[in-house]
Amino acid sequence: MSSQINESVIRDVIQEVLGRLGNENNLPHTGALSSSASSAVIPSGSYAPPSCGCDSKKSSQGGRHGVFATAEEACDAAQQGFLQLQKQGIEARRKVEEIVKTMCADRATEWGRIELEESKIGRLDHKIEKLQIIKLVPGVDWIRPDARSGDHGITLEEYTPFGVVGAITPSTHSIPTLAGNIVNIVAAGNAVVFNAHPAASRCAAMAVREFNKAIERETGIHNLVCIIEEPTLDSFKELCAHEAVRLLCVTGGPGVVKAAMQTGKRAICAGPGNPPVLVDDTACLKRAAESIIQGASYDNNLLCIGEKEVFALEHIADDLMNAMQTAGAVRLNASQLQQLTQAAFTFKEGQGAGCPHPVVNKDLIGKDVSVLAQAAGIQVPDGTDLLFAETDENHPFVDEEQMMPFIPIVRVGSVDDGIRAALKAEHNYKHTSIIHSHDVNHMTAMARALDTTLFIKNGPCGAGLGLGGEGYLSFSIATPTGEGVTNPKTFTRVRRCVMVDNLRIY
Ligand code: NAD
């Protein structure tokens, strides 16, 4: 008898559900999904994009391969992409990671050239290399749960996605930052929408289109990675304000970091740097010279971690500069420095070289050594990677994040003096600092005083990102907000699952 009652109750319930399904408008947004993610469940409080129930809209969005005219379209599509990824699970994340890493390696030469032609800053060999090394960015394997087991059972803490992440990329490494962000963000189970720097947005959109084509082919997921085709400050604001965007990842200078922090959304900010280098009298000067040249010349000094100014103890400064010349860098004399300074900075009326807050001349940012040499009034041998000159500590080349293949060398009377000057030049960005020394007291004193996210001893800046030092790679180093070198866990919510008094197996 009771089983008959149950059967009739179940029949009624099924009929009611089928009746409701016949009228899509009766369904609440948070309880039902579009056909593309019909078996996924939207957690309560999650964003569900407006649906007109029109299949033609969905298929036309599928045909966009992630590239959209507006932030709203991009965010709506990315939310659908997120739900599709959620449905397909970890293996699909792994597939996306593999696609992005493989495409960056296979197309490094072509894409490096395309990015350089558009942005017109940096060096082709390094643009290519920055894509080849995307394979070093940590992915799905980084996401491992934490577990506890005790008298009261077991507890699992899982690293789970936010949903859609809004990401801002710089002009200095557009495709590499975008690709590295995708690996991290998708490995954590999220979708992403990019607002790229306008000076390198076409190459970014091209890469997004190509990634999506491969992702669609391999997984059937559409628009997991989206981009606004013509980014503007308004599209940045719309992206940040969109309901689907739960988290921001911002890579850029002081302006965009400030703007992101004012949005009210949680922002992971990879901000500016002006990395100082201290060289003391215990250092291997040959190694120091070669490291400084390698780091400061990389991609014409566009890296935020790149060596930007050197403080050398007075009695070894000449030896260091000789070692730099032996290693191939070219030294400018005082008048050549003066000419370069006038070309590299704009001074407000009444200011001269040496005054604070001159404006960096964008025409020289990321340009080749030959262009800077010409501005300084000299010719340098082909293959010269870096120019340098002796300056005082208040020189604009010390104070400003100039991003040119030139580095100023400043004599300091003591290690304490060098640390004080380095702290001033770093502007409290807490980004990167470097020491060449074999005195652990000097290393410790500088590490404590500078308080930077990366502190590198006896190597070039790249060693701080696993390139010649131990560690892993990211092109987004979250400095003011404190997450450090970003990795998949940076883009997760930690959620706890508790089983009380059971499942402990010993
Ligand atoms: P940028 O600040 O000019 O641009 C970065 C991005 O922010 C771009 O997409 C740009 O369109 C956008 N933007 C700029 N100002 C904005 C504003 N007020 N509101 C909204 N969006 C804005 O930087 P850039 O010249 O492309 O890159 C160089 C800067 O980025 C340097 O300061 C460098 O140190 C920093 N950077 C930091 C990291 C890091 O990992 N910490 C990595 C790369 C670059």
Which pLDDT does position 45 carry in this prediction? 37
Among 172, 201, 302, 400, residue to substitute to test ligand 1 (most atoms within 8 Å of Cβ): 172
Q: Which two tokens stand for residue 337?
A: 């420095």
Which pLDDT does position 117 carry in this prediction? 98
**HSE (CB half, 13 Å, CA atoms) of 165?**
30
Judged against a pLDDT cut of 80, whether residue 179 lies above it is answered with yes
Q: How far apart are CA 498 and CA 159, in angstroms?
A: 15
pLDDT in tens, 259-272: 999 999 999 999 99
Query: Whole-prediction pTM value?
Result: 0.89
Which pLDDT does position 506 carry in this prediction? 87
Give the model's confidence band at 396: pLDDT under 50 very low, under 70 low, under 90 confident, else very high. Answer: very high
Tokens 């395309």 belong to residue: 114
pLDDT in tens, 101-156: 999 999 999 999 999 999 999 999 999 999 999 999 999 999 999 999 999 999 99
Judged against a pLDDT cut of 70, whether residue 35 lies above it is answered with no
Mean pLDDT of 65-88: 98
Q: How would you class 361 by CB atoms within 10 Å of its CB: exposed for 0-12, middle for 13-18, buried for 19 or more?
A: middle
Between 405 and 31, the more confident residue is 405
Judged against a pLDDT cut of 50, whether residue 8 lies above it is answered with no
CA 70, 480, 121: angle at the middle one, nearest 5?
Answer: 60
Give the model's confidence band at 36: pLDDT under 50 very low, under 70 low, under 90 confident, else very high. Answer: very low
pLDDT in tens, 399-426: 999 999 999 999 999 999 999 999 999 9
Among 169, 251, 263, residue to substitute to test ligand 1 (most atoms within 8 Å of Cβ): 251
Nearest to 62 by CA among 48, 81, 75, 79: 81
Q: Which ligand 1 atom is at minimum distance from the Cα of 474?
A: 40
Which pLDDT does position 347 carry in this prediction? 87
Q: Which ligand 1 atom is at minimum distance from the Cα of 401?
A: 32
Judged against a pLDDT cut of 90, whether residue 23 lies above it is answered with no
Q: How far apart are CA 422 and CA 451, in angstroms?
A: 11
| Ligand 1 contacts CB of residue 291 (under 6 A) | no
Q: How far is the centre of ligand 1, averaged over its atoms, from the C-alpha of 139 (Å)?
A: 24
Q: How far apart are CA 255 and CA 257, in angstroms?
A: 6
Nearest to 301 by CA among 376, 168, 407, 433: 407
CB 473 within 8 Å of CB 133:
yes
Which pLDDT does position 14 carry in this prediction? 45
Using only the alpha carbons of the chain, give its radius of gyration. 27
Secondary structure of residue 239 in the 3-state scheme: helix
Judged against a pLDDT cut of 80, whether residue 366 lies above it is answered with yes
Which pLDDT does position 351 carry in this prediction? 53
Which pLDDT does position 348 carry in this prediction? 75
Q: Which two tokens stand for residue 414?
A: 């003591």
Q: Which residues pair with 456 in a beta bridge?
A: 434
Q: Which two tokens stand for residue 195?
A: 């607002």
Give the model's confidence band at 350: pLDDT under 50 very low, under 70 low, under 90 confident, else very high. Answer: low
Q: Which two tokens stand for residue 284?
A: 């291997």
| Ligand 1 contacts CB of residue 198 (under 6 A) | yes
Q: How many residues does the chain have?
A: 506
CB 173 within 8 Å of CB 130:
yes
Among 256, 367, 473, 481, residue to substitute to test ligand 1 (most atoms within 8 Å of Cβ): 256
| Ligand 1 contacts CB of residue 235 (under 6 A) | no
Q: Whose CA is nearest to atom 9 of ligand 1?
A: 197
